Structure 1
Amino acid sequence: MTQAPSAKPDHQRPELPDFWDKRFAAGATPWDHGSAPAELEALLPPPASATPPRILVPGCGHAREAAWLDQRGWAVTALDFAPAAIAAAREVLGEWGGELRCADFFDFPVAAPYDVVYERAFLCALPRKLWPGYGPRAAELVRPGGYLAGFFFFSDEPKGPPFGIGAAEQEALLSPWFERMVDAPAQAPIPVFAGGERWQVWRRR
């Protein structure tokens, strides 16, 4: 009798923290670009109100954008489910005013929705089988009139990560809850994404 092939070990499954822990431990993080992109700086100026708006950075990795946003005056939650990513983020963040959480994007508890969810190198890190849950979860996390903003990786390469998305596929994923307001090529795309990054701003309906 032919035996069914064994399941992949955890460190080969990008839907599990072990996969990313191994890469952080080895320093294999080519998506870490080291600074806040110009598009983010233009979109999110320092808050004018006494109560800073709230922003979530899922799959924060080294949390460099989270650090920049905190310095800018935003109320930041940086989130990652890989303990090694959280350890790397702590080194970058040091003493800061935001919140760093080791938790899963799809089920971590929130007291209230955010004004903005910032996307970069997160959706494309998820195996495609998890994508159907991304749109409704993002809609839960963003208040009406708020924004899902960031960089999305477009590619027809079937393997990953990074897992590229198509335009029609993205529209089906997000348009039930969001309206796209901005769509432009990334000004300084991360090389590992081979020029497939686009800067987009989606407003919560």
Structure 2
Amino acid sequence: MDPGETMRQNSALPEFWETRYLSGVTPWDSSQCPPEVLDYIGRQAPGLPTLVPGCGSAVEVAHMVTRGLKVLAVDFSDAAVKAACEQLGTLSEGRVVMRDFFALEEDVPYEWVYERAFLCALPPALWPDYAAKMARLVSPQGCLAGYFFLAETPKGPPFGTSLGELQALLGEWFTLETSRSVHSVSPIFQGREFWQVWRRRKE
């Protein structure tokens, strides 16, 4: 396999996602905002600092902005960011940026980090780094809340995990408050996606 092809097969690299967005192969994306997100957004106070990592086309961001949340949506794929900007129009201005999640500044912690098909998109070797970064980005008593892919799929993406593995991954910093199976708006996750709310413990 040539080096270029190797890069296109590594989901830790932007090139992997560029190829998929440019070719229109994005089965994880949906034009619908899931009901659990709409409910969660509706219970948040305006101005809530909110981060959407690996935002893709960022369909949920419009609802967050309409509610008045202070949103930053990031993706390290240029094609994904362009898709999000096209989807959101003027709502994307100052809110959707091309940025590497692992290089994000940590000086202003977020009250809510929205997880949707981001962890399962990362190679499992990067999951400990994901957990440690989330612990630094989420403010004390803030939440990592969203959808987690619980399935026996070691090959991915999407890379599946289990509730026990998530507890081992996040339990050092977070307490699991909610975990329930949901009807996914994305067929590839159907029957294997769970809405979870992880509360960041105080230091």
Which TM-score bucket, shorter chain as reference?
Answer: over 0.9
Output the TM-score relative to the length of structure 1.
Answer: 0.91
Identity among equivalent pairs (%) = 46
Root-mean-square deviation (Å): 1.6
How many residues matched? 199
Q: Indicate the SS of the match to 2:32.
A: coil
Contact 2:183–2:190 (8 Å) recurs in 1: no
* Cα drift, residue 48 of structure 1: 4.4
Distance in 2 of aligned mates of 1:16 and 1:177: 27
Moved more, 159-168 or 184-193: 184-193
Distance in 1 of aligned mates of 2:43 and 2:195: 20
State which structure, 1 or 2, has the greater radius of gyration over its C-alpha atoms: 1
* Cα drift, residue 104 of structure 1: 0.9
Indicate the residue corresponding to 1:112 in structure 2. Answer: 108
Contact 2:184–2:193 (8 Å) recurs in 1: no
Distance in 2 of aligned mates of 1:6 and 1:29: 24
Pick closer, same or farther for the CA change 1:199–1:14 going to 2, 3 Å. same
- Summarize the alignment of residues 159-178 of structure 1 with structure 2, pairs less than 5 Å apart: 159-178=155-174
Q: Does 1:25 align with 2:22?
A: yes
Structure 1 moving runs of 4+ over 3 Å: 5-8, 46-49
* Cα drift, residue 6 of structure 1: 6.5
Contact 2:28–2:186 (8 Å) recurs in 1: yes
Unpaired runs of at least 5, structure 1 = none
Query: Would you tell me which structure has more helix in proportion to its own residues?
Result: 2
Distance in 2 of aligned mates of 1:46 and 1:158: 35
Indicate the residue corresponding to 1:67 in structure 2. Answer: 62
* Cα drift, residue 194 of structure 1: 3.6
Output the TM-score relative to the length of structure 2.
Answer: 0.92
- Summarize the alignment of residues 107-186 of structure 1 with structure 2, pairs less than 5 Å apart: 107-186=103-182
Distance in 1 of aligned mates of 2:38 and 2:94: 18
